[in-house]
Amino acid sequence: MPRIAGSILVATAVVAGTVLTGSAASAAPVAPPNTVPGLDVSYWQGPNVDWQKIADNGAKFAIIRATRGTSTADNATPYVDPYFARNAAEARKYGILQGAYHFAGPDKSSGATQANFFVDNGGGWQRDGLSLPGALDMESDPYSTLPKKPGVRVDCYNLTPQQMIAWIRDFSNTYFKRTGRYPMIYSNQSWWRNCTSSPAEPTGTAAFNLTNPLWVANYKDPVRNPEPAMPGGFAKYTFWQFWNGNDKPLFPGDQNLFPGTLKQLRAFAQKADKPVANVGVKVTKLGKYRIGKKASFRVQVTNSGPDESGTTRVYVKFPAKKLKVRSVPKNCVKASYGLKCTWKTLPKKKTVSFKVWVTVTKQFKAGQKPVVNLGLQTPNILDPGKKNNTSKIQLLITR
């Protein structure tokens, strides 16, 4: 992914839908028919990428560098790409599906640290119809100054394959927990073999084949060579970076393709790996709380979407045996701590509300201020609104 001038010299051009190859053509290969063309860009393309021209030339997706490592000393370019915000906004403005990538620095900090840094600086995913899941760029670092050590490779950041796999998994799992999508993994056949292989998997690990979409780098004309050289362990690819030369490409930066239709690409952009729903619980006081009398409070559970909530549980915890349940609301059962309420699922934009009737026992004294605590669990979804998963009220006991 880092720019190294003169990396590719072969050129092609397109004339009346036919790809012509040769140095005289002075144009890079293009995505073949029945695929979707796109690009990736970074700091190296400068501050004035012409996104309207890119859209007019047919690009349907763009993957834009957002971050690198977690330190300004990581490399010769800024660790938060200074042009990312502008590039992302402009791509979206012209209807181009937009993704982001993070250039990994496994020798700098943990995978979790870098995943959080990536998400916090524009690398997240949202179901808005224009977002692609973020990508983790796994390749050698041309700016590396790491010393050579026995038993490990500098291009693998002086990590063993087992350590590298653990680092990638740490990044991937953290990104998934933050966004509901597994990050794409960008790599090439050679690096993946050198840095993630083992005697049992000599061409590279298959640990991420079922979870992480592959963005493969393999530079050749996709018309003449319709399949890229694949990193070991992956059964298929989602994006192919097929050209990174400076020989008059159709789009600035690197040339990419998606091996399907635009409809399929849009479906890929929309689909979460785990349902996402913002679910919250709220409890409110109703009337007075007098010793020996019945009283009530209201519980409200809301799913603001965008998906169904899946199994949803609310725990209503009373002050120890001093409030007595008078009637059990629908979907609730008595528990040692108070009530446990369960719904198989809550549709998006759905609110359920119910009263809890109790007796204020004579174990209370006037002036006491007991607290009723509520907790909510949605084990089968990603819930970004965790702060709304608890609620409490303080009651004032009177005679």
Instruction: Determine whether 56 is an active site residue.
Output: no
Helix and strand counts by DSSP (H, E) for the chain: 6, 21
- Pairing verdict, β 397-398 and 323-325: unpaired
In the chain, the amino acid numbered 66 is A
Q: Between vectors from CA 49 to CA 117 and to CA 123, what angle results, nearest 5°?
A: 15
Question: Which residues neighbour 102 within 8 Å (Cβ) at sequence distance 6 or greater?
Answer: 65, 66, 67, 68, 114, 115, 117, 118, 123, 134, 135, 136, 137
Q: Which helix (H) or strand (E) holds 173?
A: helix 161-179
Distance CA(329)–CA(101), nearest Å, equals 49
40 part of the active site: yes
* Residue 38 parent element (H or E): strand 36-41
Quick one: tokens of 55? Answer: 């859209």
Asked if residue 101 lies in contact with residue 63, where contact means CB atoms within 8 angstroms, the answer is: yes
Q: How far apart are CA 285 and CA 353, in angstroms?
A: 13
Number of Cβ within 10 Å of residue 77's Cβ equals 18
Are 338 and 321 in contact by the 8 Å Cβ rule? The answer is: no
DSSP letters, 49-95, are: --HHHHHHTT--EEEEEEEESSSTTSSSS-SB-TTHHHHHHHHHHTT
Q: Catalytic one among 74, 81, 90, 137?
A: 137
Please check whether residue 192 is in contact with residue 233, taking contact to mean a CB–CB distance below 8 angstroms.
yes
Of 337, 305, 346, nearest in space to 318 by CA: 337
Check if the beta carbon of residue 236 is closer than 8 Å to that of residue 214.
yes
Closest CA to 222 of 2, 9, 33: 33
Rounded-to-integer distance, Cα 195 and Cα 88, Å: 31
Could you confirm whether 141 is annotated as catalytic?
A: no
Catalytic choice (74, 81, 139, 221): 139
Angle made by CA atoms 179, 181, 182, in degrees to the nearest 5: 120
Q: Where are the alpha helices (DSSP H) in 297-354?
A: none
Which residue numbers are catalytic?
Answer: 40, 137, 139
